[in-house]
């Protein structure tokens, strides 16, 4: 093995920047658009879907998405109870270096808040950090309804989950 | 043996250069702790963490722009140079620009036709400009995004001036 090549590979990996990304549709994820390059938040001004997914409050859902152009950074998943506002962070998934052919397929599970809502939104933000001091985003949204389970009173979703945010 | 010594020296020099030139690992860790929604809040908040001198807005050296170029055949290289734009009411303004090239030849295989026309997801430039002197959590909070350098830079300068008056 040529050690010079290995050395060169290691040092170029850090600067490779080959994000476009989008949620993939499923029974529990009704996406607003297939457009992988929505640049304006929270959901690109796209209309809600006519038939949102109906789930139970507190359900765990599997979310799949694909990245059609690789960017260093991470994916953040948020939940809004109403009106595409007051989003709360559910999960962050880092995006490591990936030089395999696109599109790249991803999957994770999310625990939905134990709240009942008719126009709730699941939002995915791809945070691109080619320049860590000036990150840029892509947005993808899915619509859902959460129904209360039995007589258990729903608990409000946390209004704020980022301890570093003023 | 001599080869390994050379590798070790090169590695050490690179680590030192990284820490000196990028602010070290702290920058990335810091960015990782601020969510996208939080950053949006910081960028649109009426109150910055302390006021700043409006003169900061008038010096072109305080601005930096990133261009993400999604085009067929542009390769995957990153370039740094200085580019000038004629800003209304200001005149010719030259700023540091980093261009991240994303060759979208592969995306043609699965892209929708709308993604490939000029301005589509895989045939466009995404510009992001920032004032490097006004930061929170080490991230630029005075910035703007657009599709043309001249417009985006102008929006950033106007944004800076507006924030300085708050």
Give the per-residue pLDDT at A18: 33
Interchain CB contact of A139 with B (< 8 Å): no
Residues in chain A: 166
Q: Choose the closest CB to B70 out of A69, A129, A162.
A: A69
The A residues from 36 to 65 touching B (CB cutoff 8 Å) are: 36-37, 39, 41
Q: Which of A132, A137, A138, A157 to mutate to test the interface with B (most CBs of B within 10 A)?
A: A132
pLDDT in tens, B130-152: 999 998 888 899 999 999 999 99
Question: A17, B100: Cβ pair inside 8 Å?
Answer: yes
Residues of A with Cβ-Cβ distance to B124 under 8 angstroms: 37
Instruction: Tell whether the model's pLDDT for residue A1 goes beyond 90.
Output: no
> What is the pTM assigned to this prediction?
0.80
Residue A101 pLDDT level (bands cut at 50, 70, 90): confident
Contact B27 A137 (CB under 8 A): no
Burial of residue B152 (number of CB atoms within 10 Å: 0-12, 13-18, 19+):
buried
* Residues A59, A102: Cα–Cα separation, whole Å: 31
Asked if pLDDT for residue A39 goes beyond 60, the answer is yes
- pLDDT-derived band at A156 (thresholds 50, 70, 90) equals low
pLDDT in tens, B52-91: 889 999 999 999 999 999 999 999 999 999 999 999 888 9
User: What pLDDT does residue B139 have?
Assistant: 85
DSSP string over A37-92: T--STTTTTPPPPSS-EEEETT-EEEEEEEEEE--SEEEEEEEESBTTBS-EEEEE
pLDDT mean over A29-47:
93
Please name the helix (run of DSSP H) or strand (run of DSSP E) that holds residue A10, with its range, or none.
Answer: helix A3-13
Query: Which residues on A lie below 8 Å from B64 (Cβ)?
Result: 134
CA of B76, closest CA in chain A: separation in Å? Answer: 6
In angstroms, the CA B42 to CA B83 distance is 28
Percent of chain A residues topping a pLDDT of 70:
80
Least confident range from A62-66, A129-133, B44-48, B50-54: namely: B44-48
The H or E element containing residue A20 is strand A20-23
Q: What is the mean pLDDT of chain A?
A: 84
Is residue A98 within 8 angstroms of chain B, CB to CB?
no
Q: How far apart are CA B33 and CA A166, in angstroms?
A: 12
- Given a cut of 90, is residue A109 above it in pLDDT? yes
Q: Over the range A26-45, which residues count as b (16 or more CB within 10 Å of their CB) and which as e? A: eebbbbbbebbbbbebbbbe
Query: Nearest CA of chain A to the CA of B37: how many Å?
Result: 8
């Amino acid at each position: 093995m040529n050690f010079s090549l290995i050395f060169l590979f290691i040092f170029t990996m850090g600067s490779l920047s080959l994000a476009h990304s989008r949620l993939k549709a499923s029974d529990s994820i009704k996406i607003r658009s297939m457009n992988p390059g929505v640049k304006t938040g929270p959901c690109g001004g796209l209309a809600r879907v006519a038939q949102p997914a109906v789930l139970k409050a507190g359900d765990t859902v599997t979310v799949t998405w694909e990245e059609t152009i690789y960017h260093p950074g991470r994916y953040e998943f948020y939940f809004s109870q109403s009106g595409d506002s007051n989003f709360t962070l559910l999960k962050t998934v880092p995006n490591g270096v990936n030089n395999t052919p696109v599109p790249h397929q991803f999957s994770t599970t999310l625990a939905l808040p134990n709240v009942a809502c008719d126009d709730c939104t699941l939002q995915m933000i791809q945070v691109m950090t080619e320049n860590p001091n000036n990150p840029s985003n892509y947005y993808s949204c899915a619509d859902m309804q959460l129904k209360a389970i039995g007589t258990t009173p729903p608990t409000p979703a946390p209004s704020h989950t980022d301890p570093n945010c003023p | 043996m001599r080869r390994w010594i050379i590798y070790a020296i090169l590695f050490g020099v690179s680590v030192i250069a990284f820490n000196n030139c990028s602010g070290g690992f702290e920058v990335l860790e810091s960015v990782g702790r601020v969510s996208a929604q939080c950053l949006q809040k910081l960028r649109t908040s009426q109150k910055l963490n302390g006021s700043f001198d409006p003169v900061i807005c008038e010096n072109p050296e305080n601005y930096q722009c990133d261009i993400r170029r999604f085009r067929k055949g542009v390769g995957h290289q990153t370039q740094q140079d200085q580019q000038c734009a004629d800003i209304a009411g200001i005149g010719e303004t030259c700023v540091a620009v980093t261009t991240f090239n994303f060759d979208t030849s592969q995306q043609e295989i699965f892209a929708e036709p709308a993604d490939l026309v000029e301005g589509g997801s895989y045939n466009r430039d995404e510009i992001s400009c920032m004032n490097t002197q006004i930061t929170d959590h080490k991230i630029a909070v005075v910035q703007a995004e657009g599709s043309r350098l001249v417009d985006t830079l102008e929006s950033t300068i106007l944004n800076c001036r507006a924030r300085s008056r708050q």
